[in-house]
Amino acid sequence: MMYRPEQREEIWNTLQQPWDILVIGGGITGAGIFNAAARAGLKVLLVEAHDYAFGTSSRSSKLVHGGFRYLKNRQFNVTRESVRERERLLRQAKYLVTPLYFLLPSLGFSRATRQVFRLGVTIYDLLAPKWAHGDLSPKQIHRICPQLTNDRLNAGFYYYDAEVDDARLVLRVIQEGIAAGGTALNYTGAETLLFQQNGQVAGALLRDNAPSGNGQTVEVFASVVINATGPWSDELRGQVNQPPRIRKQRGSHLIFPWAKLPLVQAITLLHPRDKRAMFVFPWEGVTVIGTTDLDHPHELEIRHPEPAITTDEVGYILEAVSYLFPDSQLGREDVLSSISGLRPIVTSGENNPSKESRAHTLWNDRGLLTITGGKLTTYRLMANETLKCCRNMLSGSPIINKNQPLLDQSLVTKIKDLDDTTRHRLLGRYGQRADDLADACPEDELTCVEGLPSLWAELRWGARQESVVHLDDLLLRRTRFGLTLPEGGAGQMNRIRAVAQSELRWEDPTWQFEEARYRALWKECYSLP
Ligand code: FAD
């Protein structure tokens, strides 16, 4: 189980023991390695400086996909392994990873360009392999998506990908790693690496970043230290004298209330300004559009506590909205929220950020294994490759269960008498803990939050069982209310307060501090500039 609020100190006190593996970073990359290591019977500790999924892994485009556009950049290997992982996750993470129908409209494309796209959707399916694509006439497209009124529409295609709640994927992977015997602690940063006399990396000095920890530190030693810090990988690599290799590329999305842009399928479009591929898709009761792809300068990292969308990006995305949906008249005032993340790209020195490869890379620098790049979709492959590389650094040869990334949710049999939608939602998000959640929460909380598919019970369960330290953990990652409710959930704050205070034992001054902190963060990093 993830720790409950009162158990944090207890876990902290167990850290000072020898570990087989120390995983630094609680995004999907670290989570995947942690899960695979725990299930291979290894003594594994995962530490995350902020909250689980705080980094890029809660700020993605939420697609489990092959990256149709990577075909254009001839990154066939990335596409092939990703579409195969997509198919695997659709089977094994059913209800969490769900199929998504995509329209690819041809807006004034020439016949030759249309042929290229037809070939693209065909190759995409052949790599999976599956066969679920085809041509659409403008009439058929209008029937499927009446909002698409660009008068240059002359044909189109459909194909399938999949979507996910990215933060919940990370949480489920970590949760199942803990259930298999691993130890994980959020708000615990690796500050400095520790070395053996021969110069090999031996562990790390960890600092407690939770308010209750008062900045205490502990030295932790492990046979293998893994750097899974995504866009921040260069910081630890610098401590083993390696030059920077990561190019942080910001990608931002705008989120609209579903009623303003009621799509039932996703759309891939080429931005009218630079022909970059973008996506619009329904997700968690809202409509999301993105992404941008820009270098993220160091000054911005210093100025904002988290990456935030810029005015130029808002303009760029709104331009795409009015190009695709000219009659929608959507503008800044219609935007519900925004979200920005940093891609951890291993740079090859490309001028155009969008042309950098999305493949992952694994380095071994004096015993520090760094795994970075890649995609949410390919986390299982990245975890397997990393563990394979650990083998000769560990005593004994761990048996890695390569094929089954998540526990079988079909084993959950006694889930309450719930309607299918609710049952599937809980099974997908909480796997084998879905039963416990349904049992633990009052019946009237197994109901949807106004206008959203989310349940009130998810809020209570998150606060009670999922290692929440700050209010933003609860509203941005355990639930996604900060993105999907107006004003980051301001209208529901009384009910949120009642749950948070009772489950997290926050006295009034703590609640007031947390609410003010959350509102300031939301305004600066999740609304519009
Ligand atoms: P992160 O998620 O950033 O995790 C690294 C973690 O390390 C962070 O939580 C950070 O707090 C922690 N950390 C840093 N330093 C320390 C330290 N010293 N001690 C402890 N912890 C530390 N992929 C897809 O498959 N599908 C998509 O649709 C998709 N869309 C994307 C859209 C955007 C805009 C972006 C930016 C990326 C997208 N990706 C997508 C890529 C995918 O999101 C990333 O590849 C993936 O999330 C990276 O995960 P990670 O764990 O390596 O990094």
Q: Is 301 exposed, middle or buried (0-12, 13-18, 19+ CB in 10 A)?
A: middle
If you search the block for the tokens 């602690």, which residue do you land on? Answer: 185
Cα separation, 325 vs 453, in Å, equals 25
What's the Rg (C-alpha) of the chain? 23
Distance 151 CA to ligand 1 centre (A): 38
Q: Is the pLDDT of residue 411 over 70?
A: no
Q: Give the burial class of 445: count Cβ atoms within 10 A of its Cβ; 0-12 exposed, 13-18 middle, 19 or more buried.
A: middle
| CATH code 3.30.9.10 for 92-163+247-347 | yes
Helix residue spans in 226-324 (DSSP H)? 233-238, 298-303, 311-324
Share of the chain above pLDDT 90, in %: 85
Could you tell which of 345, 375, 381, 469 is best to mutate to test the pocket of ligand 1, judged by most ligand atoms within 8 Å of the CB? 375
Q: What is the pLDDT confidence band of residue 414, given thresholds at 50, 70 and 90?
A: low
Q: How much is the pLDDT for 176?
A: 94
Instruction: Answer whether 441's CB lies under 8 Å from 484's CB.
Output: no
Is 145 a residue whose pLDDT tops 70? yes
Ligand 1: which of 237, 376, 467, 470 to mutate, judged by most atoms within 8 Å of the beta carbon? Answer: 376
Instruction: CATH 3.30.9.10 in the chain: give the residue spans.
Output: 92-163+247-347
Contacts of residue 210, defined as CB under 8 A and 6 or more positions apart, other chains included, come to 8, 186, 187, 188, 469
How much of the chain exceeds pLDDT 70, in percent? Answer: 98
pLDDT in tens, 281-300: 999 999 999 999 999 988 88
Record the tokens describing residue 329, joined without a space.
Answer: 């008249």
Ligand 1 centre distance from Cα of residue 195 (Å)? 27
Q: Whose CA is nearest to atom 15 of ligand 1?
A: 229
Give the pLDDT score at 410: 67
pLDDT in tens, 304-313: 889 999 999 9
Report how far ligand 1's centroid is from the alpha carbon of 56 (Å): 3
Quote the ligand 1 centre to 145 CA distance (angstroms). Answer: 32
Q: Is the pLDDT of residue 379 over 80?
A: yes
* pLDDT for position 304: 83
At the second CATH level, the architecture of 420-525 is Orthogonal Bundle (1.10)
In the structure, what pLDDT confidence band is assigned to residue 353 with cuts at 50, 70 and 90? confident
Place of tokens 């790049």: 373
> Ligand 1 atom closest to Cα of 29?
51
pLDDT in tens, 2-49: 888 788 999 999 999 999 999 999 999 999 999 999 999 999 999 999
5-56+167-245+357-393 topology per CATH = FAD/NAD(P)-binding domain (3.50.50)
Q: Which atom of ligand 1 is least distant from the CA of 52?
A: 9
Q: How confident is the model at residue 400 (pLDDT cuts 50, 70, 90)?
A: confident
Which residues surround ligand 1 with Cβ inside 6 Å?
A: 24-30, 47-50, 54-57, 59-63, 65, 189-190, 228-232, 251, 291, 341-344, 372, 374-377
Position in ligand 1 atom list of the atom nearest CA 190: 19
Mutate to test the pocket of ligand 1, among 46, 57, 64, 217 (most ligand atoms within 8 A of CB): 57
What mean pLDDT is predicted for residues 114-128?
A: 93
Tell me the C-alpha to C-alpha distance, in Å, between residue 249 and each of 271, 275, 321: 18, 18, 22
Query: Cα(175)–Cα(431) distance, rounded to whole angstroms?
Result: 9
What's the 164 CA to ligand 1 centre distance in angstroms? 15
Stretch(es) of the chain classified as CATH 1.10.8.870 = 420-525
Average pLDDT score over the chain: 93
Which helix (H) or strand (E) segment holds residue 415: the answer is none
This prediction's pTM: 0.97
Is residue 31 within 8 Å of residue 173, measured between CB atoms? yes
Cis bond leading into 421, ω under 30°? no
CB neighbours of residue 91 within 10 Å: 9
Between CA 107 and CA 324 the distance in angstroms is 9
At 497-521, the pLDDT tens digits run 999 999 999 999 999 999 999 999 9
Residue 159: is its pLDDT beyond 70? yes
Question: Mind listing the pLDDT tens digit for each residue in 166-198?
Answer: 999 999 999 999 999 999 999 999 999 999 999
Ligand 1, atom 26: nearest CA belongs to which residue? 63
Give me the residue label for tokens 């968690």: 284
Best of 69, 225, 229 for a ligand 1 pocket test (most atoms within 8 Å of beta carbon): 229
Per-residue pLDDT of 434-462, as tens digits, reads 989 999 999 999 999 989 999 999 999 99
CA 479 to CA 271: how far, in whole Å?
31
pLDDT in tens, 60-116: 999 999 877 777 777 788 899 999 999 999 999 999 999 999 999 999 999 999 999
CATH 3.50.50.60 in the chain, residues?
Answer: 5-56+167-245+357-393
